[in-house]
A = this chain, B = another copy of it.
Amino acid sequence: MKKVVLREDEMPTSWYNVAPDIPGGLQPPLDPETKEPIAPEKLAAVFPMGLLEQEMSQERFIKIPDEVMEVYKIWRPSPLVRAYKLEEALGTKAKIFFKNESVSPVGSHKPNSAVAQAYYNKREGVKRLTTETGAGQWGSALALATSKFGMECKVFMVRCSYDQKPYRKSLMHTFGADIVASPSPDTATGRAILEKDPNTPGSLGIAISEALEDAASHEGTNYALGSVLNHVIIHQSILGLEAKKQMEIAGAYPDVVVGCCGGGSNFAGLMAPYVPDYLEGKKIKFVGYEPASCPSMTAGKLAYDSGDVVGMTPLLYMHTLGHNFMPPGIHAGGLRYHGMAPIISALIRDDIIEPKSVHQLECFEAGVLFARTEGIIPAPETTHAIRGAIIEAMKDPNDPKTILFNFSGHGLIDMAAYDAYFNGELHDYSYPKDEIAASLADLPKIG
């Protein structure tokens, strides 16, 4: 059997929320002004109650609304695939499986949360959503989701990606969304940054500030975030719940679960449904791979920090490089973020997730090997998970262990990155030690 597919009626009907199963629990988000736990009504300025309830929820299972299920069914359930040819090329006895989230209409796992977020906002009368996007995957997903629910959408796209990826803009445009390069002249935040540095490549942190400002200052407009927050990770659990069921059908159980980590949602989506097994004593390892040039998990600090550059978001207790950290311009734009999801951060603290980092050249090398063996071209972000799976498989090639990783997206709309790789234009960045130290010195002071 090459892959396991599920029928629609075999799809999970509830999301799984790992929050109540985190041994050390989660720290509450703080109000950036008072440094006290933030009042839900304050968050309600930009988020609908349906999502805020999930954000705070201690329920293990949350029913997926029918309207969300209907949209999921455009592409879900997604396949679970055995990477026989990759195994063969590596000469490993490991069994390597991947969950193929690239089959969504925009090529990644991102619509799993975008569709849910659009639905809950629509239900509460919101007519327009703003968001940021780095590589373009999340913006594309929200553009798709808002078009399905008849809402408007404005995307602040990090300038360097905006310039590198014209097809991403066209894609969002085709779904009816409005796209602008960030920093933009459309917000006070953007104007201030452009005045200081007209040639800035932008960052996710800046784009989040702009999207939040736009949402807060426009009637009927809310804000949507593509990763990091608890409700996003809840939505992404659909992929892990499916994968778990499919692994059972394949007669396999993972010794190691691997994913790439930017904000953390794709990896958490896959691994979280296995956490209860782990807590019951099952032998299973969870390894998250991040870029060595933006190493929030492996070189950041677990502390309260702002999710954006300006300091508009609640303070989140997370692994962070400091919200002023400007990540180098690696091609995995979706992994260029200073913080890591509080859920992932808490699971690292509790020694459940093991964080590791990889360099971009070894990742592209792994991506090309994957394309030529398994036939699918991975997104630059996804190459980090592939590299990670290969590292796990090759620790001892004679160990017949089972590895499961998340193939979070394809690279068909990011081919310029492969051109740059083949043309020898990419290089690895050295560990940005001084920049991280400077940025960490600037964390918000608590209590």
Contact = CB atoms under 8 A, between A and B. Distances in A.
Interface string A174-211: 11100000000000000000000000000000000000
Interface stretch (A69-77, A124-132, A340-348): A69-77
Interface in A1-34: 1-3, 5-8
Interface in A387-437: 410-413, 415-416, 418-419, 422
A77 B5 CA distance: 10
Contacts of A415: 166-167, 170-171, 174, 413
Contacts of A413: 167, 412-413, 415
B176 A372 contact: yes
A86 to B, nearest CB: 12
A3 B372 contact: no
B3 A5 contact: no
A3 B73 contact: yes
B74 A2 contact: yes
B377 A412 contact: no
Given A170-B418, A415-B167, A374 B175 contact: no
A147 B377 contact: no
A312 interface: no
A91 interface: no
Contacts of A419: 166, 170, 173
A282 interface: no
A443 interface: no
Contact of A372 (B147, B166, B377): B147
A438 interface: no
Contacts of A148: 85, 375
A328 to B, nearest CB: 23
A423 to B, nearest CB: 10
A38 interface: no
A376 interface: yes
A425 to B, nearest CB: 13
A105 interface: yes
A372 B175 contact: yes
A250 to B, nearest CB: 11
B171 A412 contact: yes
B422 A173 contact: yes
A415 B136 CA distance: 14
Contact of A412 (B8, B107, B371, B418): B107
A368 B174 contact: yes
A5 B103 CA distance: 13
Interface of A: 1-3, 5-8, 70-71, 73-74, 77, 81, 85, 103, 105-107, 144, 147-148, 166-167, 170-171, 173-176, 368, 371-372, 374-377, 410-413, 415-416, 418-419, 422
Given A148-B375, A167-B413, 10 more contacts: A2-B73, A71-B375, A103-B103, A105-B375, A106-B412, A166-B415, A170-B422, A174-B411, A174-B422, A175-B377
Question: 3 smallest A-B Cβ distances: which pairs?
Answer: A170-B415, A2-B73, A167-B415
